[in-house]
Structure 1
Amino acid sequence: MTATVAEGDAFVAQFDPYRRELLAHCYRMTGSIHDAEDLVQETYIRAWRGYSKFEGRSSMRTWLYRIATNTCLTALEGKAKRPMPTGLGAPSSDPTDDLVTRHEIAWLEPIADTELADADDPAAIVVGRESIRLAFVAALQHLSARQRAALLMREVLQWKASEVAEALATTTTAVNSLLQRARAQLDEITPSEDDVVEPAAAETRELLAKYVDSFERYDIEQLVQLFTEDAVWEMPPFEGWYQGAETIGTLIRGNCPATKAGDMRMVATSANGQPAYGLYMRNEEGVHEAFQLHVVDVRKAGVAHVACFFDLRLFERFGLPDRL
């Protein structure tokens, strides 16, 4: 591989503006921020190797997405899908049963909003909230890799079916078939987004303030009142998931290490375009240490879904300290 310095500079200048949106695309495809980063790097290498042959018949953006998509498809061959506990197919769990850990499962991971856009340039956010929300990414995991690719290119990237067919080296008819099956599956498993409320709305901020207050004062009764009647709570790597406000309250009372006000503290962040919080638990020395990351789905009726992640590596990715 030979290239001039000028060619290298030209390639980097054209590639870098798309790095964040390519990361979002690879994340949607894989459900893992760690895998997505590796795949963007592989996309960079493949694009660099083929840059001298890039003739400009399509835009640089289209060319890069084509490479990234096929890089993802290759990486996903033979790999298990990344589920959430609700995606394992088991019914809602009894909150009084013992918690069962499944470390052998590669669980879905959340993504920090700071990974997707420059904090100094909000206009640089290249993905709509609905295309990166945790529920949508989790639903994508129920599709085959090629169905995911077709759906994302057609409905998120807004490509023509013929462009998707070219990227996937197939026919328009085959693409339309993939899309039909993918949409049918998503309609069965994806919750309605009609009553999603914006995180910045005044009523949302008030509800979230009460959510934090409930944990920090260990007021489980108040917390239960914030959930919708059919709210869902799940927390990988534990395989169980729990539905219903009272069920969630029973689960927390029976399993949370906290016993009194002040045992827990929460620090706000954001993930998948949704409100998120790093929860810190006070240890025996009185220091609050990283415990779990909450990604919260708020609807008009209240908190509808909480995904709690116990992977403490996420705290660093979200810019959160190990201890307070």
Structure 2
Amino acid sequence: MEFSAVTEPYRPELLAHCYRMLGSIHDAEDLVQETYLRGWRAFGGFEGRSSVRRWLYAIATRAALTALETRSRRPLPSGAGPPSEDHRIAVAPREPSVSWLQPVPDALLAGDDPGAVAASRAGVRLAFVAALQFLTPRQRAVLTLRDVLAFRTAEVAEMLGTTDAAVDGTLRRARARMGEAAPVADELAEPEAPDARALLEAYVDAFTRADTSELVALLRADVEMEMPPTPTWFTGRDAVIGFLGARVLSRPGQWRMVPTGANGQPAFVVRRRTDDGGDAAYGVQVLTLTAGRIARITAFNDPALVPTFEGSPAVT
């Protein structure tokens, strides 16, 4: 068997797995490279007692657990402190010392096998990945291997070099913690595709025209907005609209928004107009849609994310 021929088809789903574990697309890409390097070195001793897929997941998971020994969890602002309902408060300075959760481009999770694509995208929604950050690294590994990827208990035990009983115990604790931190399934229901497209088009139109009155009709009354690396975040339509109107949407044409996809959700690459008529990378917005309205705006105001998303296909 040639190593690349039998292992390359699993790269997108391994990237999704490493992203769930680490919460960073940049770190996940590095870890996938490390996984393939370790796999290539050990391939001569691969005896086929497990599938190539399971063998690769074992390598990736062990590498992730090693990496997490020296790294703290990656939160969103909503997981690091309480929200504000008053847009007039002083916005806390950016926290460069905090490693914030990052989004993942849908395009990087695509592959040739529709079944594999579905598996790789399972469990990458922002709310779910943010909730994973509250688990210990080992709980994170067991829960994703069992509940997201559907490996059997015995398989997970073999991957992690432990017992079935230890896996079951870790899984119970992880599920209990996720039950406290993750949103319920009903809260994740999204509008049908035509309605979603109309909603997204209206949002881009209102945002780029700096029309806050139009935005009001698009947001849920309990909408939330967070903007890593800024720790301050807002809850409630009045606070979000007030903040956008006072501090973000100062004039029409200031922002350019290119549709993309992130974490299985609608997203936009955001660029800011410059004085010379061009534009500069600003960040990535990820939207959560429920009941025909926008329930959450997560604005990753990090220009370093833009190159990762440039060229990703738009939401259709």
Where on the TM-score scale, by shorter chain, does this alignment land: which range?
over 0.9
Asked if structure 2 preserves the Cα contact closer than 8 Å seen for 1:295 and 1:307, the reply is: yes
Question: What secondary structure does 2:298 align onto?
Answer: strand
Q: 1:251 and 1:271 mapped to 2: Cα distance?
A: 24
**Residue in structure 1 matched with residue 178 of structure 2 by the alignment:** 186
- The match for 2:71 is 79
Structure 2 distance, partners of 1:271, 1:21, is 15
In 2, Cα distance between the equivalents of 1:213 and 1:80?
Answer: 39
Counterpart among 44, 50, 57 of residue 49 in structure 2: 57
Partner of residue 204 from structure 2, selected from 189, 209, 212: 212
- 1:5-46 Cα offsets, whole Å, 9 max, x none, are xx6xx1111111111111110011000111111111111121
Q: Measured at CA, do residues 130 and 95 of structure 1 come closer, stay the same or move farther in structure 2, by a change above 3 Å?
A: farther
Secondary structure of residue in 2 paired with 1:127: helix
Unaligned runs of 5+ in 1: 1-6
| Distance in 2 separating the partners of 1:199 and 1:228 | 13
> Would the aligned equivalents of 1:43 and 1:71 in 2 still touch at CA under 8 Å?
yes
Residue aligned with 1:68, SS: helix
- Counterpart of 1:4 in structure 2 is none
Aligned-CA RMSD value: 2.0
Higher relative contact order structure (alpha carbons within 8 Å, sequence separation ≥ 6): 2
- Structure 2 distance, partners of 1:289, 1:236, is 18
Kept after mapping to 1: 8 A contact 2:191/2:292: no
| Aligned partner letter, 1:164 | V
By how many angstroms is 1:320 displaced? 5.3
Residue 250 to residue 130, structure 1, CA distance change in 2 (3 Å): farther
Corresponding residue number in structure 2 for 1:297: 288
Per the normalisation by structure 1, the TM-score is 0.90
Which deviations, in whole Å up to 9, do the C-alpha atoms of 1:227-274 show, x marking residues without a partner? 112111000110011111111011112221x42222222111111111
- Structure 2: which 5+ runs fail to align? none
2:283–2:304 Cα contact (<8 Å) kept = no
Instruction: For 1:86-165, list aligned pairs within 5 A.
Output: 86-92=78-84, 94-100=86-92, 101-118=94-111, 125-127=117-119, 129-165=121-157
Question: 7, 10, 23: which is aligned to 1:15?
Answer: 7
Alignment partner of 1:135: what SS? helix
**Structure 2 CA distance for aligned equivalents of residues 272 and 174 of structure 1:** 31
Name the CA shift for 1:130/1:59 in 2 (closer, same or farther; >3 Å): closer
Amino acid at match of 2:297: V
The AA in structure 1 aligned to 2:221 is: E
Q: What is the CA deviation profile of residues 122-147 of structure 1, one whole-angstrom value per residue up to 9, with x for unaligned ones?
A: 66524365511111111111101000
Amino acid aligned to 1:155: D
Percent identity over the alignment? 47
Alignment equivalent of 1:239, drawn from 224, 231, 237: 231
Aligned CA distance change for structure 1 residues 197 and 207 (closer, same or farther; 3 Å): farther
Post-superposition CA distance 1:148-203 (Å, at most 9, x none):
00001101110111111121111211111111111111111111232535576111
